[in-house]
Structure formats: C-alpha cells, structure tokens
Amino acid sequence: MICVLCKGNLKKETTSDFTDLGSCMIIIKNVPCLKCEQCGEKAFTGATVKQIEHIVDTVKSSLTEVAIINYLDKAA
C-alpha cells in the first residue's frame, strides 16, 4: 500500500492510540496499523477503528482519569 501523504510504502506495525475525553485519557497499546516508512504517517483498517471505538466506549464509563489498555487483550 502507498501513503496518502507522501506516496511512501506502508508496512504493518503496531502503535499506541491516545484518546482524550477531557475527564479521562485512554491509551491503547499494541494497536495494529500501517506505518509509512518515509514520513511515519499511520493508518488503521476499518476493523481496527471499530475495535478502538468499542474499547473507548467500554472504558469511558469507568471512573478513572487514565486507562491503559492492551489492544491484543480486547481484540475479538
């Protein structure tokens, strides 16, 4: 695949996703992504985005200020 920003090559990697909800910060580790070898831009598949949204929806109702979740533990 090709990067939409710089036309570099994308390779499979993992990254961390940060979601700031104001009252809570959610960090999801080991999220699969496609990362550009040239500019470092990251892209997620639709399935990965859906899983991130599910994790955020689940965690945001907790009474914590910071939540660190391992994507691999929550992936179906």
**pLDDT reported for residue 42:** 96
Quote the CA–CA distance of 13 and 51 in Å, as a whole number: 17
**Burial track 3-38 (b if 16+ CB lie within 10 A, e otherwise):** beeeeeebeeeebebebeeeebebebeebbbbbbee
**What pLDDT, in 10s, does the model give residues 31-55?**
999 999 999 999 999 999 999 999 9
**What pLDDT, in 10s, does the model give residues 50-70?**
999 999 998 887 767 888 899
Question: What domains sit in the chain, N to C, each tagged with a CATH number?
Answer: 10-74 (3.10.20)
Residue 76 above 60 pLDDT?
A: no
**What pLDDT, in 10s, does the model give residues 8-31?**
999 999 999 999 988 889 999 999
